[in-house]
Structure 1
Amino acid sequence: MKLRKDLILQVQAIISEAQLKAIRSVDFERVLMYWKIGKVIFEEEQEGQERAGYGEFLIMSLSTELEPQYGKTYSYRQLNWFRQFYRTFPIVNALRSQFSWTHYRTLIRIDNQDKRDFYIAEAVKNNWAARQLERQINSQLYERLLMSNDAQSVLAMARNEKQPTDPKDIIKDPMVLEFLDLKRESDYYERDLESSIITHLHDFILELGNGFAFMARQKRIHIDGDDYFVDLVFYNRLLQSFVIIEIKTNKLTHQDIGQLQMYVNYYDRYEKQDFENPTIGILLCTDKNDAMVKITLPENNRTIIASKYQLYLPTEQQLLDELKKEIEKLDNREKS
């Protein structure tokens, strides 16, 4: 007599779920413990704030007492983190049970309140692990989205208080693809980049943004005896539209834009359902001339987007420079 396979799988699923809940419960209890320690330190520090250097004396003395007994978790540096944790998140009911201490230690480093609220909302909505949260912060996701929107709109969409209505609300320019492990100094073909994206599809979808689902690679389109192949096809459930991505490993040309426009037109006429919104086309390129893109496309264009990609994490200064450029463009448009 042999047990059914589905019964074994069912019991295994129950065990795995219980183990995961137990781990999360322990993690959250640890987070609460650190928060309470931070609260005690902060309140004691405030009581003695008229004494110069009391805060540093307090933490140093506590670490001297606790570290020999409980280990490096209660070192001077760690106790400082606990105090900062309480100062940053003073309301215990606002703590998220799905966040580990690593999540919070990453969030504490963010000084800007709107920026921190954005990453909290995105991490909750997308169930980001601590490593994914850190990666999104390091790639300056918040700043990149600000290039096409204002801070309050970006935060509202992260909290699901506002639904995106324009592709630029969620599609980033530039896109950061450091997870592909392609050297920026090396020459490579479009097919190499495409293959690497498929290999790292989960990370690529995270970089694309919310609501994306993969549909096809090298999608064959047959038009009056000629065959064409679309690099990548996705669907975005928030925008309710197909999203076509064409990859270019060189500077964008007007011929590239024309090719993508043909693919978008095909999907609008033969694939899109009546209830769906117009197809979005993204040209993923190493470089682009924004003026050329603007002149090539109709003035009312909302479906073709040219986005640069980079194979390394941007520095804060690079993002500030890009933001400055975008602000200057807006100023020039208003003046004209």
Structure 2
Amino acid sequence: MELKKEFIRQIESIISTSKEKAIRSVDTHRVMMYWEIGKEILEEEQEGKDRAVYGDFLIKTLSEALEPQYGSGFSYRQLYLFRQFYRTFPIVNALRSQFNWTHYKTLIRIENKEKREFYIAENEKNNWSARQLERQINSQLFERLLLSNDVKAVLSVARKERVPTDVKEIIKDPMVLEFLGLKRESAYYEKDLEQAIITHLQEFLLELGNGFSFVARQKRIHIDGDEFFIDLVFYNRLLQCFVIIEIKTTKITHQDIGQLQMYVNYYDRFEKQDFENSTIGILLCTDKNDAVVKITLPENNKNIVASKYQLYLPTEQQLIDEIKREIEKLDSESNS
């Protein structure tokens, strides 16, 4: 007699689900333990007259008592983190059950409250792993979205207080594609970059942002006997529209913009349903002239976006310099 494979898979599924629940339960209890320890440390510290001196003495003495018995998880550094954890999240109801301790260790490093709230909201919405959260912080996601939005707009979309109405609210410029594993000093053909994106599609969707799903690559379209191929087609359920991406491994020209506009027009006229919004086109390029982009497109353009990509994580200084350039550009435009 032989057991049915479906029956075995069902049992395996039950075991796997139970193990995942057990791990999540352990993580939740561990987070609560660390929070309660942090609360006790901070409250005891506030009893001292010289809090800074007493606080350091308190944590050092406590670690010397606990570490020999419970291990390195209760070292001076860890106890200090527990204290910071409670200071950052003083309300127990603000803790998220889907966040583990690694999530919180990453979040408490963020001093800016608005920035931290953004990553909490995005993590909760997208169910990022701790590794994905760290990658988004290291790639300066918050700062990149601020290049074309204000803090209030970025936070309201992250918190689901409103649905984004403009592509610039979710598309980053620049996009960071370090996960492709391509060397930045090398030259690549567009097909190489496209293939790397398909190979790392999950990471690319994470970089694109909320609501994206993959539709097609090298999508063939016919226009009155002529044949064209669109590099990548996605759909965004938040914006309720198709999103076309054309890849350029050189500085974009007005011809590139015109080609993308043609693809957008085609999708609007032949693929888009009546209930859907207008198609969005993204030119993913190594470099761009913003003035050329602006002059080539209509003044009321909201459907074509040129976004630079880079194959390495940006430094904080690079993002600061970029934000300063954007502010100077806006000031110059308002004064002209």
Scaled by the length of structure 1, what TM-score is found?
Answer: 0.98
Q: 1:165 matched to which residue of 2?
A: 165
CA distance in 2, matches of 1:81, 1:51: 17
* 1:225 shift after superposition: 1.6
- Contact 1:254/1:296, CA 8 A, preserved across alignment: yes
The reply on whether 1:300 has 2:311 as its aligned counterpart is: no
**What secondary structure sits across from 2:46 in the alignment?**
helix
CA distance in 1, matches of 2:81, 2:49: 19
Tell me how far 1:280 sits from its aligned partner. Answer: 0.4
1:47 aligned counterpart, secondary structure:
coil
Instruction: State how 1:192-231 maps to structure 2 within 5 Å.
Output: 192-231=192-231
Identity %: 76
Give 1:285 deviation, angstroms. Answer: 0.2
CA distance in 2, matches of 1:279, 1:138: 31
Match of 1:102 in 2: 102
CA offsets 1:130-181 (integer angstroms, 9 cap, x no match):
0000000000100111111111111111111010001111011000000000
> Structure 1: where are the runs of 5+ without partners?
none
Partner of 1:334: 334
The answer for the alignment partner of 2:82 in structure 1 is 82
- Which 10-residue stretch deviates more, 103-112 or 314-323? 314-323
Q: Deviations over 1:269-317 (max 9, x none)?
A: 1101111111100000000000011001111111000000000000111
Answer with 39-48 or 14-23: which moved more. 14-23
Give, in whole Å, the separation in 1 of the partners of 2:6 and 2:217.
33
2:277 maps to what in 1? 277
CA separation of 1:168 and 1:103: change in aligned 2, threshold 3 A: same
Alpha-carbon separation, structure 1, partners of 2:239 and 2:26 = 38
Q: Note if contact 2:67-2:73 (Cα within 8 Å) is conserved in structure 1.
A: yes
> What amino acid is aligned across from residue 284 of structure 1 in structure 2?
L
**Hey, which bits of structure 1, 4+ residues long, moved more than 4 A?**
none
Preserved contact between residue 45 and residue 51 of structure 2 (Cα < 8 Å):
no
Deviates more, 1:260-269 or 1:6-15: 6-15
Please list, as runs of the form range in 1=range in 2, the aligned pairs for 1:58-137 lying within 5 A after superposition.
Answer: 58-137=58-137
**Whole-angstrom distance in 1 between the partners of 2:52 and 2:275:** 67
Cα distance in structure 2, aligned partners of 1:204 and 1:49: 53
Q: From the superposition, tell whether residues 51 and 309 of structure 1 become closer, same or farther in structure 2 (CA, over 3 Å).
A: closer
Aligned-pair distance for 1:52?
A: 5.8
- Please state if 1:47 is matched with 2:47: yes
- Give the count of matched residue pairs: 336
- Length-normalised TM-score, structure 2: 0.98
Q: Does the CA-based 8 Å contact 1:153-1:162 persist in structure 2?
A: no
The question of whether the paired residues in 2 share the 8 Å contact of 1:235 and 1:243 is answered with yes
Separation in 1, partners of 2:94, 2:10: 35
Q: Which moved more, 1:87-96 or 1:325-334?
A: 325-334
Paired with 1:68 and 1:151, the residues of 2 have a C-alpha distance of 46
Q: What is the RMSD of the two structures over their aligned residues, measured on CA atoms?
A: 1.0
Work out the CA distance in 1 between the residues paired with 2:154 and 2:51: 43
**Aligned match of 2:25:** 25
- Render the CA deviation track for 1:32-89: whole Å, top value 9, x for unaligned: 1111111111111110143661111111101111111111111111111110001000
Shift of 1:93: 1.4
The alpha carbon displacement at 1:6 in A equals 2.7
Q: What is the one-letter code of the residue matched to 2:35? A: W
- CA 40–182 in structure 1, closer or farther in 2 if over 3 Å, else same: same
1:321 maps onto 2:326 in alignment: no
Q: Does 1:182 align with 2:218?
A: no
